[in-house]
């Protein structure tokens, strides 16, 4: 009887010791800012849905999105948290050709941003727009070149916009062509003759079918990234959801709105600057004002629209996006300024 009593005491002491050890380890982990993290580079052709996918996983509109190409112009990091795991998304510009670079007057850094992201990545996600009838069965040549440069980095394929595909029966053949008939070393069955192997990549570890816009299949990607996380020193605090300031994100969100509302190359020639920003903690709201330098007075009138109607639409849409990003009520104003407007001294002369 005494022996059994001692055994119970020993078990209780051991249990207390294990709990203390667990708390001590956790305290050291917190003190040293240690946790699980994964750096995920998200690459793809322009307008394939990279930023939309990241926003959906974050449940916050951190990355600017637009229906037009080249909304993202710089490498940006968006941070997602899941318990003790930190997912750092490297949101990249879509691949840029020299012709597009000159046509849209894009920043020089855009051409190198994708390649730079790969050097920081633990895993690479390739977003492919399956709704594009011309390119749905082949990867962009530049994307292929980039993947072949980093074959030792795990990569996975994200087939996006599957909800827009009229016939889902095509999916198996499309997957086979995009993966060269191999996923994680296993063959992919197909009913048709495969295309040339120089149009796909045979080293993907997994394939996900998603609709980033409505969220279908997005959780599977998040779970996959968490499974690829590693214990390391965390780069960001738990209240950080981007590596850039809120002010910069507001400017980019405004730029994306002009891309959506204006035709042709006009929005690419606008210069958007945040002139005023106030995050009122006491009232729990944000107030901001932007100035937009336009090439001419004619462009100012075109953007404003009849009776200022178009500008009001832009402001309303921008406000909604900023509320989704900041998670607070937002008041926003936009001032259009022609670049060729004469100064006061010139007007006097």
Domain residue spans of the chain: 34-233, 246-348
Model pLDDT, residue 345: 40
Span 286-291, average pLDDT: 97
Percentage of residues in the chain having pLDDT higher than 90: 58
Which homologous superfamily does the CATH classification assign to the domain defined by 246-348? K homology (KH) domain (3.30.300.20)
And the tokens for 230? 């590693």
Model pLDDT, residue 273: 96
To the nearest whole number, what is the mean pLDDT of the chain?
84
Q: Count CB atoms within 10 A of the CB of residue 126.
A: 26
pLDDT in tens, 218-232: 999 999 999 999 999
Answer yes or no: is pLDDT of 343 > 70: no
Angle at 212 between CA 206 and CA 214, to 5 degrees: 130
pLDDT in tens, 147-183: 998 999 999 999 999 999 888 888 999 999 999 999 9
Span 106-124, average pLDDT: 70
Which homologous superfamily does the CATH classification assign to the domain defined by 34-233? P-loop containing nucleotide triphosphate hydrolases (3.40.50.300)
Nearest to 318 by CA among 280, 279, 261: 261
Give 339-346's long-range contacts (Cβ < 8 A, gap of 24+).
Answer: 339/293, 339/294, 339/295, 339/296, 340/295, 340/296, 340/297, 341/297
Q: Predicted confidence band at 347 (pLDDT cuts at 50, 70, 90)?
A: very low
Residues 6+ apart with CB under 8 A from 177: 137, 138, 194, 195, 199, 200
Answer yes or no: is pLDDT of 233 > 70: yes
Nearest to 39 by CA among 83, 92, 1, 99: 92
For residue 242, give the DSSP letter.
Answer: B
Q: Predicted confidence band at 324 (pLDDT cuts at 50, 70, 90)?
A: very high
Model pLDDT, residue 346: 39
Q: Rounded to whole angstroms, how far apart are CA atoms 140 and 208? A: 18
Answer yes or no: is pLDDT of 98 > 70: no
Model pLDDT, residue 192: 63
Q: Rounded to whole angstroms, how far apart are CA atoms 261 and 239? A: 33
Q: How far is CA 116 from CA 43, 64, 131, 148, 275, in A?
A: 11, 20, 28, 15, 31
């Amino acid at each position: 009887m005494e022996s059994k009593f001692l055994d119970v005491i020993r078990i209780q002491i051991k249990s207390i010791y294990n709990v203390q050890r667990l708390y001590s380890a956790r305290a050291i982990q917190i003190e040293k800012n240690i946790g699980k993290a994964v750096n995920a580079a998200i690459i793809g052709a322009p307008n394939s849905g990279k930023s939309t996918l990241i926003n959906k996983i974050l449940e916050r509109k951190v990355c600017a999105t637009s229906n037009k190409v080249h909304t993202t112009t710089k490498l940006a990091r968006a941070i997602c948290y899941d318990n003790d795991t930190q997912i750092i998304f490297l949101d990249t510009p879509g691949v840029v050709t020299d012709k597009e670079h000159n046509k849209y007057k894009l920043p020089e850094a855009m051409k190198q941003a994708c390649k730079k992201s790969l050097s920081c990545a633990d895993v690479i996600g390739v977003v492919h727009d399956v709704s594009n009838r011309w390119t749905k069965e082949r990867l962009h040549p530049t994307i292929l070149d980039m993947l072949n440069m980093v074959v030792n980095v795990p990569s996975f394929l994200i087939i996006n916009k599957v909800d827009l595909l009229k016939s889902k029966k095509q999916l198996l053949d499309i997957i086979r062509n995009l993966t060269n008939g191999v996923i994680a070393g296993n063959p992919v069955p197909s009913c048709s003759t495969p295309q040339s192997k120089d149009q796909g990549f045979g080293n993907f570890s997994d394939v996900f079918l998603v609709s980033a816009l409505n969220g279908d299949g997005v959780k599977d990607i998040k779970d996959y990234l968490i499974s690829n996380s590693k214990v390391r020193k965390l780069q960001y605090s738990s209240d950080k959801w981007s590596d850039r300031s809120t002010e910069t994100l507001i400017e980019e969100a405004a730029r994306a709105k002009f891309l959506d509302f204006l035709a042709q190359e006009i929005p690419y020639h606008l210069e958007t600057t945040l002139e005023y920003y106030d995050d009122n903690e006491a009232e729990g709201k944000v107030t901001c004002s932007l100035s937009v330098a336009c090439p001419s007075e004619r462009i100012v009138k075109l953007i404003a629209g009849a009776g200022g109607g178009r500008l009001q639409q832009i402001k309303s849409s921008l406000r909604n996006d900023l509320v989704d990003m900041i998670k607070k009520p937002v008041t926003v104003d936009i001032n259009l300024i022609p670049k060729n407007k004469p100064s006061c001294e010139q007007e006097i002369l």
